[in-house]
Structure 1
Amino acid sequence: MTPISTPVPLILASTSPYRRALLERLGLPFSTAAPDVDERPHPGESPSELVRRLAEAKARAVAENHPDALIIGSDQVACLDDAILGKPGDHQTAMAQLERASGRCALFQTGLCVLDTRSGQAQTLVEPFRVHFRVLSRARIQGYLERERPYDCAGSFKSEGLGIALFERLEGDDPNALIGLPLIRLIPLLEAAGHCPLGS
């Protein structure tokens, strides 16, 4: 009798509730682990290089304690005029970010890594997504921030929530990338490793 092969454990190298909620949509069992990674950019490192490096670094940091697993790492930055917009952390910084973004286009870049710890092989990519903001008055920005308080989100908004009202249009192949995990690009990487959301 041929033994039934079981997919290796799937681990999300993140404690982000947004990434966890996205991955749950695929219906695959997984666990989460917190990666201990210095997220400061290297001198001269571009935003795309930064997120690709950090996505893999997060996966490899978790791999140290999981030698037989498939690990997903991800990292995201938002850029306006080539300057990185981090997570605001407070109301004042969020106000400044959204006032600066008003009527303009911000580029979000999301790094993705799928690491097979059995072989040490890592597949990495960077998924771009552009957000075109409406012209926003200070009063509207203030009202939005008071209602949604997106202070832990790069760019100071939640696109899956009321933040959608800030946009004129979105431009990209995978809207999930804007939230932090590009599921459309992730699925074929998982399937190649034996984790198929739709079955065989």
Structure 2
Amino acid sequence: MLKRSILIAVAPLALAACGGTQNLGLESVHQPVVSRADYAFDLGAGPGGLAPGESQRLSGWMTSLRLGYGDRIAIDDPARDPATRADVAAQAAQFGLLVSDDAPVTAAPITPGTVRVVVSRARASVPGCPDYSRMYQPDYNQHTSSNHGCATNSNLASMVASPTDLVRGEPGSGVADAAVSTKAIQSFRNAVPTGAGGTAVKAESAGGK
């Protein structure tokens, strides 16, 4: 009878250990996920740029979106009018943004005499966090906590200025100045060693008794 009771008690523990999120190492399974949303706005345009009053409409729309660093602005203009691009770029400059050369594909067709301004916005989040699915269960496989990595990666996702950097990073300029790169090392090498020439090392005091 005693043996049977032990088997019944162990069975629920074994099942409990199999449930919940399993982190097999220090690299958490909870990683930031980047999603993108496109916002389109159609404006009237002519041969000389945006139609009268359209610049004000565009400015109000951009303000309502609260544009900021990381947002991407593109123009879908079948006529490819430089004046239209300049008008849109002037409104984007008020938010410290540039106009991209490539516009994402949108579902609705563009009617003649209009241009489409598309704002692409990326957001980063960590799904499933916090995760307490295996916090209070016995673990016989040396897994880290089911909530491991949630705090660090959630903070990273919320603080990164441009969420797309988590996907592909920044390529950089590709240009490096060797003189600037080695300036600190060269200053260290050219410094006179302390105690050189038989001089004693300068004694310092914090002023205490």
TM-score range, shorter chain: under 0.3
Q: Which has the higher strand share?
A: 1
Query: Which structure has the higher relative contact order (CA within 8 Å, separation 6+)?
Result: 2
What's the TM-score once normalised by structure 1's chain length? 0.23
